[in-house]
Structure 1
């Protein structure tokens, strides 16, 4: 039987939402401390991996309790909710970007946000929106999640029984996709920025991790420095951090990176989830899990706020998408940009945390009212 909710999952999902917001505000100083600055992967990998983890944890339990058809029905119902949210969010985002663009004279935010297609071809853009082919900047993770979740009923029963068979099949598709050119169609460059055919592997790995969480493995009682897998993962994470930091100083990078190695590893594709990105995320996740094995550290006040944001990840993600162009507008209007950039980043974080707190309060209120109604019957 699958285990219950793990607050660590909510914490890291909340942290990913903060990183995504800060990364999406141009020239934001706090964007310099997010994951993408210290390795090949970024918050997108956290988001997709934990989406697979949470989905299999939740719907796997429903499948075991209520059967395949009930679980599939609930998965597809959730997928429909996400689809409707996507349409509504895109409409709101376009309105906010058009408003922000009217207050910024030095830049074209409509073009920067990838909304030119709607301005030049509004009828086709509406059709593409319904088909998930029109995805302006900031919107890419949600359509990816919709497609991955919609495909979960096809693999969930076998994933529960033959986990490694599904992982092997998923890895095969992942390795073949870039070579065969498998991707979904979109506007602009013609393909999805997050290729679902490759990113599905990380989603499946998240589900497999949920099924094997808590199991003991040989050698875990030894000190971390004596565990070869931990040492290898830590060294790779450190090497990736050094290399990523060197990108800021080309002369340092050229000194560290031989030409033959540079030609071998570059480009590190985000669209097809390059093996270097995937390996970096898995190594980082493994090291983090080893260094933070318990749940006690999630009980302090800042961690609890982050956990609450992760618990309401869809609503907080949507708010972050809408706040990013507004923060960009404020930053563009400020004479002294640096203080305003810090202020807008922290204000956005505060609003996202406030939304999560409000949603939690409403949920508790509804539960209290329901309990009173049951007691009064």
Structure 2
């Protein structure tokens, strides 16, 4: 293990060169790759894909730039939605993302700019594409999480010392809220505290910084990686014999094949689930998954084999579709993969920010993993 408890990283392949633009034809693969990187959470990417489809249809493709393609003094703004993905299903976004970004840029008075997806895992990957299209802005081939996390401060930007604030929240009725502050945890807490009054979710523009700062603080290649993962997953799903090759091609570790035996919430007051999976004879192995909004820990016969910020992906063994935390049911046949975390998390040693303890799983983090 590293000093703060991560398992040694598997190969983290670059998945090809940065694609130069994103068009309507790319959205299905991007949605599939983003859902895979959601680690069981991050919201329904189909909703974001529909929203991005409408924006691209009306305004044309989005330019995708590598982190080295922007001049150092250009402004980068992270964009996404904060709040419950369930509320997004009930009240779909329209112009709020563009409003949040414009309001923040007016406050900063620092154009030109590019947008950065707040998180590549889940619906926010697609919403960033939609925002870039609406604003006719380039999108950086990067993100701030490398997967999905539940809180806006759980980013490589925070770990690198980039301030969340000033941050702007926008909702459909035209209301905007600007949050200022120097402490990212405090600012994130204020954002979360205001979401109920804003209807459960809000479009957010946050983490404004120079391009040369984003170059080292953001996670590079995330959008191209999600596109390539989605494409590979779609192709592998057509032929079960290609599935092991798919895992190897993305540098993933195949953890388990079996059926869901039990889904429990040990403490009704706690947000965490424990999912028990059992393999068929003659192996008779048991895999335990601990989950909050996303899958966080995996233990095979009592030995931890994956932990956040690794991506733990659960796929239907029949359809080869990505399953969310809330989709698991007893007797469901599944396969479980560990997708390696981006190397930046090791470099920044950000265990307190994104590791098991940050998800209130410290008491569960007791079984030694591989050395």
Which structure shows the higher strand fraction? 2
Please tell me the TM-score bracket, short chain as reference: under 0.3
Return the TM-score normalized by structure 1.
0.26
Greater RCO, CA 8 A, separation 6+: 1
Larger radius of gyration: 1
